[in-house]
Amino acid sequence: MKKLYTIGHNVRLAALLLLISFFPAKSFTSSYFDTGESSINLITESYQVNTKDTLLVGIEFKLSPGWHTYWKNPGDSGEGATIKWNLPPGFKASDILWPGPKKIPVNPLMTFGYDDKALLLTEIKTPGQFSGPVTISAKVNWLTCKDICIPQEGEVDLTLMKGPKTISEFATKLTEIALTIPKKFPAQSRVTKINEKIFLQFEKEGSSNISEAYFFPNEYGLISYVKDQKLERNNNSFSLQLNRAEVRVETDKLKGVLKLKIDETEEFYELDLPIEGASNSPILAMSLLTGIVFAFLGGIILNAMPCVFPILSIKILGFIKQSQGSKKKLVQHGLIFSAGVLTTFLAISWLLIFLRASGEAIGWGYQLQSPWVVSILIYLFVAIGIVFMGNIVLGSSLANFGSLAKNRTDFLSSFFTGVLAVIVASPCTAPFMGPAVGLALLQPGLKSIVIFLALGIGFSLPYLMLSIYPQLLSKLPKPGEWMQTFKQIMAFPMWAAALWLAWVLSAQVDMESVFAVLVGALLIALALWLMEKTQSSDQLLKRITVLFSLGLMIFSIWLIPLNQDDESSNLRNEVNNFSAQKLSSLRSEKKAIFVNFTADWCITCKVNEAIALDQDNVKKLLREKDIVYLKADWTRKDPEIASILARYGRTGVPLYLLFPPVGAPTILPELLTESLLLDFLNEIN
């Protein structure tokens, strides 16, 4: 048995004591006890105490150089001391009053405790009656550690006389330490959780000299012990940034001790605050509510995205005209437009749920992996541009785009404008949308539909507002000739979108197929022109042209390549191209790696590449830090990439992962800037 606790030559008495601890250890007791590595001493503010009195006593630990003992929360390893009091009847001991701890790093871990000296205080309350002298004794278990740990146990006692309190030689020391016991934090403070960070904010008047702050959590699993805490200040307001724990235990309270270093003195404050902000975001953990809010915001922002903006600006022109009409109609149009938007989002969510159920790896923008969809969108964008440019009016049954501004009575037109707006929006993602759609796709059916509906409501909100409060329209310019000009100008972004889609297509199929689609686009243009030209002709000619135009359109659609061509592109062979195998082999070589998950059809990705990834400073830093750059191109379907996206809770691109040489990756924000990216890269050692 004895051997089990033998740790080199250091154990001796401690080990022995541990083994015999169940024997009454009377013979060892005194107010002082020494184990070699550390000693304890029971000290009191007075050797005399009255009835109904409070006496401050303390266990004073003295530790040999290099050894330390622990706070009540020891951090990553270790254990705080325990004191078991043996008191005369009626005497009551308080819990240990722990003085503010120190950070004691044990690379790569962090522990909290005391080195060289520690004084753990206890308040002892005496009863209304007792006869002195009395003996109080304490059995103390503590752990002292250097590079190794030794559990220690000792018993100390003290005899007290009955009478008014006097002042002992330890009184000053005890009251001094008592001042360092964390007090209730007097200032206003609050805690907010934003994704992976917890922000402890507080006000402190006249605190010009706070040079340092550190929060010692009481409990495991909320905040990281190891990671630095960043203090920011703004006059008298402070914000301490805490990182979430590596392994989580969910809690809604922040409890612990805040250390503030003011000039050269340290102050400790006890905190117990509710954590505000429910989101804790790997998306998987994002609450449904946050998802809905994100979807709603994303929907609103989506309106300003380049693929949607032209369509909707034309819709606003429609509103301007309609504002001359009856208010009731206007509201109806607004509602019907919203209905169109919502119906389409509903249809998309059903489609996605259906596809998900059939095992497809899906995501927002997923449809753009299909050359067929891309080609149809090219035709659509070309057609919209031509309609904007010309004066065409097609039958209301076709619910054509050009009639938006003219055919003010046509509700069907409003409805299909809504449908169209969502369809052309599909190549775009807006901020907030990514996580929300990601969540939607991971949720069971009903929840995911709710999120998509929130997206739709956000998307149609501005128009609904305009139609309900037409006063807002008076802020817009009066209708007139300029509307025609504006409409024509808006044709250009539409065509630009078509060009961009053609480029996307070129990454999916060979040149000949792209060419075929361009010819198809030309034929669509011809068909539309013919229809416009014969608008006011007689019935027969009109019919012939419509038929001929339809033929042209069908032929155009027939021209579309059906499948993506796997051999047309040699993207896969690029040195920097991503594969799961390459990633894991680089990981095992302990390389730092930056992975860019992107796709040609993802505008956000391309913008990020232009403004951040392709910047010389970034490239230079990547080289200097020997960070391997990998590009995971999701322009085409790729189950391997889809499964990695899923692992990080994503269903779409962009996703930026920065792997340190060892450990889990950091997920970078979806919107990159050069300086942001440089900051992240600089954190890699």
- Among residues 476 and 580, whose Cβ is nearest to another protein? 580
For the bound state, the minimum distance from the C-beta of residue 239 to another protein, rounded and expressed in Å, comes to 10
- Among residues 219 and 510, whose Cβ is nearest to another protein? 219
> How far from the centroid of its chain's Cα atoms is residue 28's Cα?
57
195 near another protein (CB under 8 A):
yes
Residue type, 493: P
**Binding residues among 416-455 for another protein as defined by CB under 8 A:** 431-432, 435
Q: In what order do the strands lie in the sheet with 38-44?
A: 32-34, 38-44, 54-63, 117-125, 92-93
Cα distance between residue 318 and residue 311, in whole Å: 11
For the bound state, the minimum distance from the C-beta of residue 671 to another protein, rounded and expressed in Å, comes to 6
> Which of 149, 231, 339, 355 forms a contact with another protein (CB under 8 A)?
149
Q: DSSP code of 11?
A: -
40 near another protein (CB under 8 A):
no
592 near another protein (CB under 8 A):
no
**Binding residues among 257-296 for another protein as defined by CB under 8 A:** 281-283
133 near another protein (CB under 8 A):
no
Contacts of 591 (CB under 8 A, 6+ apart): 626, 627, 628, 661
Is there a contact between 162 and 49 (Cβ–Cβ < 8 Å)? yes
> Which of 266, 660, 674, 678 forms a contact with another protein (CB under 8 A)?
660
3-state helix, strand, coil in the chain (%, to 5): 45, 25, 35
194 near another protein (CB under 8 A):
yes
For the bound state, the minimum distance from the C-beta of residue 604 to another protein, rounded and expressed in Å, comes to 11
5 near another protein (CB under 8 A):
yes
Is there a contact between 415 and 340 (Cβ–Cβ < 8 Å)? yes
148 near another protein (CB under 8 A):
yes
Is there a contact between 552 and 524 (Cβ–Cβ < 8 Å)? yes
HEC states along 506-525?
A: HCCCCHHHHHHHHHHHHHHH
> Which of 31, 50, 54, 77 forms a contact with another protein (CB under 8 A)?
77
Cα distance between residue 639 and residue 655, in whole Å: 16
> Which of 20, 179, 522, 676 forms a contact with another protein (CB under 8 A)?
676
**Binding residues among 205-264 for another protein as defined by CB under 8 A:** 220-221, 224, 227, 243-249
Count the alpha carbons within 13 Å of 316 in the hemisphere toward its beta carbon: 24
- Among residues 220 and 629, whose Cβ is nearest to another protein? 220
669 near another protein (CB under 8 A):
yes
Is there a contact between 635 and 679 (Cβ–Cβ < 8 Å)? no
- Among residues 41 and 280, whose Cβ is nearest to another protein? 280
79 near another protein (CB under 8 A):
yes
Helix (H, G, I), strand (E, B) or coil at 295: helix
- Written as six digits, the tokens of 589 are 């070589």
Cα distance between residue 288 and residue 266, in whole Å: 43
Site string for another protein, 555-584 (x = CB under 8 A): -----------------------------x
Contacts of 358 (CB under 8 A, 6+ apart): none
For the bound state, the minimum distance from the C-beta of residue 463 to another protein, rounded and expressed in Å, comes to 25
Positions touching another protein (CB under 8 A) are: 1, 4-5, 7, 18, 21, 76-82, 106-109, 111, 141, 145, 147-151, 153, 194-197, 220-221, 224, 227, 243-249, 281-283, 431-432, 435, 584, 590, 647-648, 660, 662-667, 669-671, 676
